[in-house]
Structure formats: C-alpha cells, structure tokens
Chains A and B, each alone.
Chain A
Amino acid sequence: NAGVTQTPKFQVLKTGQSMTLQCAQDMNHNSMYWYRQDPGMGLRLIYYSASEGTTDKGEVPNGYNVSRLNKREFSLRLESAAPSQTSVYFCASRPGQEETQYFGPGTRLLVL
C-alpha cells in the first residue's frame, strides 16, 4: 500500500505557464482533497471531491481547476501560473466511513 502519492515532488514554473499536479490513492477512499500550505496560514482547501464524479470548490479555488479522473486519481491544474500560487500543495483522501484525512507527501511549487 503506497497510500497517497503525489507527482511531481518539486516544480519551477514561469508566470503564465500551465501544469497539472497529480494525486493518486490506493486505499479505495471515496473523498479526495487539494490543499495549499503557505507560511503562517495553515492549510487551505482549494477543491475537493466527495465521491467519484463530483467536485466542489473549497476556500481558495480561484486560478485552479480539478479533475476526478476515477476513484483513485484527483488532479489539480493551474492554467496560467502566477507568483501568488507559489506554495506547497497537499493532496488528501478519506474513506467514506470515517472522518480521518490521509495526506500525500506534497508538491513544492515555485512560480517565478
């Protein structure tokens, strides 16, 4: 069991470039989440998918899109990266019958 995996680990982008952050879980969890973590601000929810086939906005969705490709995979897309999107991005998943969220190792993104 790999748990929650994320790729890439680290990425540098130029302003205006696009990229997709990948997340996958092998625990058969129903719900998946994308957070960003900035110094002094904790983790903030960008988008989530309560179940396969559904996605909803979180607290800070502007500038991002998501796709729940199947039950295992939940990707986050930046269409036109901005320096304000420099952050560490964490994906998490949660089984349907409990509240605990399990986090991936994170993707560190730097937008120049």
Chain B
Amino acid sequence: GENVEQHPSTLSVQEGDSAVIKCTYSDSASNYFPWYKQELGKRPQLIIDIRSNVGEKKDQRIAVTLNKTAKHFSLHITETQPEDSAVYFCAASLGGTASKLTFGTGTRLQVTL
C-alpha cells in the first residue's frame, strides 16, 4: 500500500519567517495530495490540496509544490503568524470511488514572537 513520510516532526520559526514541510510518497499512481491543519484538541481541517496534473498551487500565504518524478510534495507558509502554530499533516490518495487517504505522521509548527 501507499506510504507517506513527513519531515520535520517539529519546526520552530520566528514570526514573519517562512516554514517548509516536506512529504514523500511511495505509490506513483497517487494523484491527490491534501494538507490538513489541526489545532490542539480540534479536528483536522483542509488548508490546501493539489492534484497530480498540477505542479504548484497557491492560496494567499500558503503554497504547495509537487514533484511527481521524485514523488515528493511540500507545503510552504510565508510570513508566518502565531495563529499558524498547529500540527500539519500531508496525505496522498489514489483517488477513485474510495479515495482513501494515507497520512504522514505530522509536523508540529511553532511560530514564536
């Protein structure tokens, strides 16, 4: 089955700096790659996603890049703010009727003042 690895497990940045989280996946047939943000005690919420026919997608301060050849994708957060502090999860899916997600193990991002 699919395997998703995520790095780093923890990341501390100063407010205003950029943060980058990287994921690799094993199944070259995976075609959908979402990123979820989870605040303490809350449910995971989708922040951005990308499909395999696109190399990059941006939404304000958040961007995701995908390298299908290398089977890795990354989340970029620019101009970080304290409210960006949370755990971020990447995931990969083969799509189709079931569209099961395989998640990475998460990155705890701390934005310090």
- Structural contact, A51 and B101, CB atoms closer than 8 A: no
Q: Is the interface of A mostly helix, strand, loop or mixed?
A: loop
* A1 lies within 8 A of chain B by Cβ: no
**Residues of A contacting B1 with CB < 8 Å?**
59
**Residues of B contacting A74 with CB < 8 Å?**
none
- Chain B residue, CB-CB nearest to A90: B43
Contact with A along B77-113 (1 / 0, CB 8 A): 0000000000001000101011111111110000000
Interface residues on A, range: 20 to 34
| A interface, CB within 8 angstroms of B | 31, 33, 40-45, 48, 50-51, 56, 58-59, 90, 94, 99-106
Contacts A33-B100, A40-B106 aside, 10 further interface pairs with beta carbons under 8 A come to: A31-B99, A42-B103, A42-B105, A45-B100, A45-B102, A50-B97, A50-B99, A99-B93, A103-B44, A104-B43
Closest 5 CB pairs of A and B: A42-B103, A103-B43, A42-B105, A50-B98, A43-B103
